[in-house]
Amino acid sequence: MNFLDCIDNVDKKFGFSFDRINSNECRFHAIYFLDNETGSLLISNRYSNNISFLKDDLICSFLNAIDLFINELKEGANEELREINFSDTRILYEREGRLLVIAITKKTNLQVERGILREIVNDFYIRFKNFINNFDGAVDPDVLSYKKRLKNMNLNSLFKFNIHI
């Protein structure tokens, strides 16, 4: 049995899809940048037209409310919401100071998705740390211009991941 037949066999037997792990297709449906203290949407970008979303600020408010609800349940404990899983979709939460970034992914590979998101969060936070820490409700034009960077960014190239089978 050759390697490709073996992979196909694993796919059928266990439900794994190696095509999705190594795909060059964007792994993300959307990414939202919020001020964690106010819940205000700073910027967002959609990568997929396959999912019909409501308005971005409504989605962010809802996802932030879930995060706040979990924090209330775990009062006193040092726990935070990291992800929500559905059959083909995953919602990832990443924080840096006051910055909360929420990504809706195509559920390809958690380690790769989290690595890519962490790179984006670090890049955004380094560029706009002063703005984020002193956010007063008005989104700076430089922050808004980051959306263009998000649109042009090849997210799959941000995180190199070697799979050893």
- pLDDT tens digits for range 89-129: 999 999 999 999 999 999 989 999 999 999 999 999 999 99
Which of the two residues, 154 and 16, has the higher pLDDT score? 154
**Residue 48: φ, ψ to 5°:** -130, 140
Which of the two residues, 78 and 109, has the higher pLDDT score? 109
What pLDDT shows up at residue 51? 60
Mean pLDDT over 69-79 rounds to 75
pTM: 0.77
Beta bridge partners, 41, equal 34
What pLDDT shows up at residue 165? 31
Of the pLDDT bands very low, low, confident and very high (cuts 50, 70, 90), residue 164 is very low
What pLDDT shows up at residue 96? 96
Whether the predicted pLDDT of 53 surpasses 80: no
Q: Where are the domains of the chain?
A: 27-136
State whether residue 106 is helix, strand or coil: coil
Cα angle 28, 162, 7 (rounded to 5 degrees) comes to: 85
CATH superfamily of 27-136: Dynein light chain 2a, cytoplasmic (3.30.450.30)
Q: How many angstroms separate the Cα of 111 from the Cα of each of 8, 12, 27, 139? A: 22, 23, 12, 31
What pLDDT shows up at residue 54? 63
**What does the alpha-carbon distance between residue 139 and residue 145 come to, in Å, rounded to a whole number?**
10
Residue 131 near residue 125 (C-beta atoms within 8 A) = no
What pLDDT shows up at residue 142? 96
Range in 5-14, 32-41, 68-77, 138-147 with the lowest mean pLDDT = 5-14
Whether the predicted pLDDT of 6 surpasses 70: no
**Six-digit token string for 98:** 């006051």
Average pLDDT, the chain: 81
Of the pLDDT bands very low, low, confident and very high (cuts 50, 70, 90), residue 67 is confident
Whether the predicted pLDDT of 18 surpasses 90: no
